[in-house]
Amino acid sequence: MKKVLLDTNMLMIPGQFGIDIFEEIDKLINENYELVTLSSVISELRKISKKKSKDGRAAKVALELVKHKNIAVISSKNKNVDEEIIKIVDKNTIVATNDIELERILKNKGIKTIYLRSKKFLEY
């Protein structure tokens, strides 16, 4: 089964742009998959959620979605989320991220990515 690994910025999209990333991912992937994220992503979201800003509110929404959507949280030792993602991904993992540099590195490794297009929908 495929895994869709959700990065911090992908989880914040619902709170920032009002886009249902889960519905969008369903439209893109025509096979069974499991949504996962990293414990370091949760730590980043918690840190951002303390800010009194639009990003802080988006991070709070993201943390609630992780709970409500039963997203599996993979324990990660590395505090650098991008480095951890690069280290753990394989051919059965699709990474959902808006980080252009991370996306470039993953594509060079042959890893598929999902990203936000035109602040309106996700693309694969």
**Is the separation of the CB atoms in 6 and 53 below 8 Å?**
no
What is the model's pLDDT at position 77?
82
pLDDT tier for residue 78 given thresholds of 50, 70 and 90: confident
Residue 69's pLDDT is: 93
Q: Which CATH number fits domain 2-123: 3.40.50.720, 3.40.50.1010, 3.50.50.60, 3.40.1350.10?
A: 3.40.50.1010
Burial class (CB in 10 A: 0-12, 13-18, 19+), 102: buried
Q: Which two tokens stand for residue 96?
A: 């959902």
User: Can you tell me the mean pLDDT for 40-64?
Assistant: 96
Q: What is the 3-state secondary structure (H, E, C) of 9-53?
A: HHHCHHHHHCCCHHHHHHHHCCCCEEEEEEHHHHHHHHHHHCCCC
Domain ranges for the chain, please list them. Answer: 2-123
Does the structure show a pLDDT above 80 at 79? Answer: no
Model pLDDT, residue 99: 94
Residue 107 DSSP SS3:
helix
Q: Residue 102: its pLDDT value, please? A: 96
Indicate the pairing of strand 113-117 with strand 121-123.
antiparallel
CA 1 to chain centre: 18
- The model carries a pTM of 0.93
Using CB atoms within 10 A of its CB, is residue 94 exposed (0-12), middle (13-18) or buried (19+)? buried
Amino acid code (one letter) for 20: D
Whether 60 shows a pLDDT value over 90: the answer reads yes
